[in-house]
Amino acid sequence: MIDLHNHTFFSDGELVPAELVRRYAVAGYSAIAITDHADKSNTKWLLDNIADVVDEIGAANNIQVLAGVELTHVPPQAIADVAQLAKDHGAEIILVHGEAIVDPVMPGTNLAAIKAKVDILAHPGLITPEEVQLAAELGVCLEITTRKGNSLTNGHIVKLAEKYGAKLVINNDAHAPTDILPPDLVHKIALGAGMTEEQIMQAQKNSAELVVRAKA
């Protein structure tokens, strides 16, 4: 099991990176990403604190760890530039906080993230068919999430992704120890969102491909 969306106390999570990684390793995961909330003001600072330690922490726990960011409430017109800033400072994976229905995210964020070709558009809410089609064309993964609130539109995302051939990934969006769900529960939540066994397996393959690409 792989999870590419997690937060530490460097943003609004509860755990230091080492404990987050340790808890995921004990839960049976093979790879995770640390993706704290970022905008232009703190992207460099976050990556300066994470990028040089993830390999060491991962090796100690026999789990692969990626250094990343979740660009959050960044104005749509600035997303591409901040994503590039993150890459320049060592981000191995870039997520954008999508237009979840429980958050006041600026309209246009989903489209801007897709056009910027970020790795994952997290919890994209009531994403439009046109945006899903573009995500499929550009290879941007759409997130199915186990997180309460953000998961309310999982079924909508699954349905459109199947129709237009967009890639899916499944993430916990963990902020606390209780958010690190056992793989069997993640599996059940994905089934509840309308994913088939084949789609769940493919979503994990999509995540694995992102890990391989990041560490290449």
The set of residues, in sequence order, having a beta carbon less than 8 Å from that of 195 and lying 6+ positions away, is 144, 158, 168, 203
Asked whether 164 and 132 are in contact (CB, 8 A), the reply is yes
Structure tokens at 19: 């404990």
Question: Is the predicted pLDDT of residue 181 greater than 90, yes or no?
Answer: yes
Residue 146: Cβ-neighbour burial (10 angstroms; 0-12, 13-18, 19+): buried
Report pLDDT for 168: 98
Question: Is the predicted pLDDT of residue 14 greater than 90, yes or no?
Answer: yes
Least confident segment among 47-56, 164-173, 201-210 = 47-56
Question: Is the predicted pLDDT of residue 93 greater than 90, yes or no?
Answer: yes
pLDDT in tens, 112-171: 999 999 999 999 999 999 999 999 999 999 999 999 999 999 999 999 999 999 999 999
Report pLDDT for 23: 98
**Rounded CA gap, 3 and 148, in Å?**
16
Of 183, 123, 186, residue with least CA distance to 155 = 123
Question: Is the predicted pLDDT of residue 44 greater than 90, yes or no?
Answer: yes
Q: Is the pTM of this model over 0.95?
A: yes
pLDDT band at 30 (very low <50, low <70, confident <90, very high): very high
The set of residues, in sequence order, having a beta carbon less than 8 Å from that of 31 and lying 6+ positions away, is 2, 3, 4, 63, 64, 65, 66, 207, 208, 211
Report pLDDT for 216: 83
Listed by start position, the domains of the chain span 2-215
Percent of the chain with pLDDT over 90: 99
Question: Is the predicted pLDDT of residue 3 greater than 90, yes or no?
Answer: yes
Domain topology for 2-215: TIM Barrel (3.20.20)
Least confident segment among 15-19, 20-24, 212-216 = 212-216
Q: Average pLDDT of the chain?
A: 97
Question: Is the predicted pLDDT of residue 176 greater than 90, yes or no?
Answer: yes
Structure tokens at 34: 């640390």
pLDDT band at 57 (very low <50, low <70, confident <90, very high): very high
Which residues of the chain form beta strands (DSSP E)? 2-3, 31-38, 64-71, 93-97, 120-122, 141-145, 168-171
| 41 torsion bin: left (phi>0), alpha (psi -120 to 50), beta (else) | alpha
Q: How confident is the model over 189-195, as a mean pLDDT?
A: 98
